[in-house]
Amino acid sequence: MNSGPVSFPDWKNILNASALAPQSKAAFLREILAFLKYCKAARAPATNEVARQYLAWRETQTAGPAREALRWFYREGRRPGSTQVAGVGDRPPSPPPPAGPMVPPPPVSAPPLPRPVVRSAEPPPAASDLGTVPWERDLIREVRERHFLWRTEQTYREWAVRFARFIAPRSPYAAGGEDVAAFLSALAVNGRASPSAQKQALNALVFLMHEALHRD
């Protein structure tokens, strides 16, 4: 079985022209887009191994047809005629390296964990600590209106800043659930974050997106 990266630049058009039911087409489109975003976030091509890792995570999050969608994607993508590797952007594939000893690939980068900080027992004056960008000010306002502890505010802000860097140059106002999922997946799969760190990041980003930015 071919285990190399699947090449399928025209998959959307092929899916649209397929004999699948409209509801299945829409579900497959959603699942394949989520998978390719995962590949992009991990800076990894769409190999069989990456697909297995993705499904192991995805199927704990939703009961959607992720496995069926990727089976279709890989089956159709293995057909002759494709010239672009999916999951690594729109750049043409690089030429093969010259023959020589195999060198292991560099480790995939992951969103950095928050650096340990020494928090003051007392927060700075509120009027002088209102954030630097609109989305951060929205987050601070919602946190303080709910009377969260100072430590909780600082933790939520730290994770929000790292999430904003992860999706840059887009703003968190334009982010969605798939961006949050990609960030958390990169923390778990590539960064080997502890379960407590993953849970902390999830709580912070759910609050940011749902309560502060009013996004699903």
pLDDT single digits (tens) 157-203? 999 999 999 998 899 999 988 999 999 998 888 878 888 999 999 99
In a domain, 103, yes or no: no
Same domain, 68 and 140: no
- Whether residue 34 is predicted with pLDDT greater than 60 in this model: the reply is yes
**CATH number, domain with residue 177:** 1.10.150.130
Give pTM, 2 decimals.
Answer: 0.46
Taking each helix axis from N to C terminus, what angle separates 66-77 and 48-58, rounded to the nearest 10 degrees?
170
Tens of pLDDT, residues 114-169: 555 555 556 777 777 888 899 999 999 999 999 999 899 999 999 999 999 999 88
Same domain, 64 and 134: no
Same domain, 70 and 141: no
Instruction: Compute the half-sphere exposure of residue 157: CA atoms within 13 Å on the CB side of its CA.
Output: 23
In a domain, 116, yes or no: no
Q: Which residues, at least 6 apart from 150, have a Cβ–Cβ distance to it below 8 Å?
A: 119, 122, 123
In a domain, 112, yes or no: no
Sign (positive or negative) of CA dihedral 140, 142, 145, 148: negative
Q: 143: which 2 tokens?
A: 């946190």
pLDDT above 70 covers a percentage of the chain that reads 78
Most confident of 55-59, 64-68, 120-124, 202-206: 202-206
In a domain, 200, yes or no: yes
- Give the residue-averaged pLDDT of 96-119: 53
Q: What is the pLDDT of residue 93?
A: 45
The answer to whether 177 and 61 are in contact (CB under 8 A) is no
In a domain, 115, yes or no: no
Q: 48: which 2 tokens?
A: 């069989």
In the three-class reduction of DSSP (H, G, I as helix; E, B as strand; rest coil), residue 7 is classed as: strand
The answer to whether 88 and 45 are in contact (CB under 8 A) is yes
In a domain, 153, yes or no: yes
Q: What is the pLDDT of residue 145?
A: 92
Same domain, 133 and 202: yes
* Residues spanned by the domain of 205: 126-212
The band of 88, judged by pLDDT with boundaries at 50, 70 and 90, is very low
Task: Report the distance separating Cα 116 and Cα 99, nearest Å.
Answer: 45
Q: 41: which 2 tokens?
A: 């976030």
In a domain, 21, yes or no: yes
- Number of Cβ within 10 Å of residue 3's Cβ equals 7
Residue written as token pair 């390719």: 36
**Which domain-ending residue is among 44, 61, 77?**
77
The band of 109, judged by pLDDT with boundaries at 50, 70 and 90, is low
Task: Report the distance separating Cα 140 and Cα 131, nearest Å.
Answer: 7
How many domains does the chain fold into? 2
Same domain, 130 and 71: no
Q: 82: which 2 tokens?
A: 């494709």
In a domain, 4, yes or no: no
